[in-house]
Structure formats: structure tokens, C-alpha cells
Amino acid sequence: MKGTLDNSLDARYTITKMAKDAWVSYTADKNVAWVADLLREMNEHATTHTPEAHFENSVIHLSVELSRKYKGEIGEYVLARGTIRATYDTECVRTLQPMQESMTAEFKTCFVPTTVTQSEEYAETGEIWLDGDTWEMYPYEKNQIDVSEMIHEQAFLNYNYYPRLDADGPLDADLPSDKPRQ
């Protein structure tokens, strides 16, 4: 089932407007404003060109399925599963040379009322068992889920903070003088 006419993934959803018990598929890429902001942030370590040039050289694709459910002791919740695929510009932490890094991250998350995430039973775990599987929990309030915040966190949990071109290769002695050696 498609989410909207253009099937684009919005940053926030009002859960009461979602159909119950049906999986709805959404996609997004850098043409969606909040996804473009995420990709720009992923490119922040690249310094060889302008931020816009790095952005144009990068790719991101989100594929997300959402399903609104109900369980007595929890109340309404939304299951979210999907994939983040990105190729972004960065620098090798060893040589400071420009490079591209690719990332693929799959996620299974669940939006539950804030009271559930703060309850004694779940406050320490951050996970919940629902529908025969374990899901990472994210709180929601006032019937609004923030998909963009969840995607941002999932992307940066899988982001390579120490990219290397060649871990065993020689260091380049001709690095620009304005780049500190690490």
C-alpha cells in the first residue's frame, strides 16, 4: 500500500490519521528537505569542494514501512522498519585525502507513548517485544511521531566516523599544510 500520492516520506506523522494494522511504504531521497539536511550533515567532514558540490556528488535513499497498531497495556504504537542507503563525501582519517563512503543500514523501530519509554519496565532497555519481534523504542507525544529524528539517529549509529582509504598504505608526505596530521 502506498503512503501518499507521491509516496514521499514526511518528517512527522499524526498517528490517528494512519490506517490501523496495514503496512504503508514510503521512500525519500535528497529531494526531500529534511533528508537533504541529513545528507549535508553526513558530508560535513569533506572539505575539498563547496558544501553544495559535495551534496551534488552524494546520494541518499530511504525506504520505510510504517504500521499503526494497538495493544492494551501500551496503547497505540507505530512499527517502523526500513533501510537507509547513502554514499557521501568525507576524508580519510589517516591520510586526510578526499574519499567517498557508502552506508547501508537496516532498522526496526517502534514509536510508543512517552509514558511507556519512561516506565520502570522499559526505561533501562530501550527495546520492546511486540508482534513477535524486538523493536528499538522511540517516544511520541500528542499523537505525533518524528520519523526524521529516528532516521537521523539510525543513520549516525551506522555512520563511519573513521573512514580510511587504505589502512596499510603509506602516508602521503605532500598533505596540504593547512590540514593537521592525525
Report the alpha-carbon distance of residue 145 to residue 172 in Å, rounded: 47
Domain membership of residue 95 (yes or no) is yes
**Could you give the number of structural domains in the chain?**
1
Instruction: Name which of 163, 150, 157 is nearest 28 in CA terms.
Output: 150
CB atoms closer than 10 angstroms to residue 74: 17
pLDDT by residue, tens only, the chain of 182 residues = 444 435 678 999 999 999 999 999 999 999 999 999 999 999 999 999 999 999 999 999 999 999 999 999 999 999 999 999 999 999 999 889 999 999 999 999 999 999 999 998 888 889 999 999 999 999 999 999 999 999 999 999 999 999 998 767 666 555 555 555 44
Domain membership of residue 26 (yes or no) is yes
Running DSSP on this structure, what letter comes out for residue 155? H
Domain membership of residue 148 (yes or no) is yes
Domain membership of residue 126 (yes or no) is yes
Domain membership of residue 176 (yes or no) is no
113 residue type, one letter: P
Strand, helix or coil for residue 67: strand
- Which residue is it, cell 551534496? 55
Domain membership of residue 168 (yes or no) is no
- Domain of 33 in residue numbering reads as 12-157
Report the alpha-carbon distance of residue 167 to residue 110 in Å, rounded: 38
Q: Which residues contact 72 (CB under 8 A, 6 or more apart)?
A: none
Domain membership of residue 177 (yes or no) is no
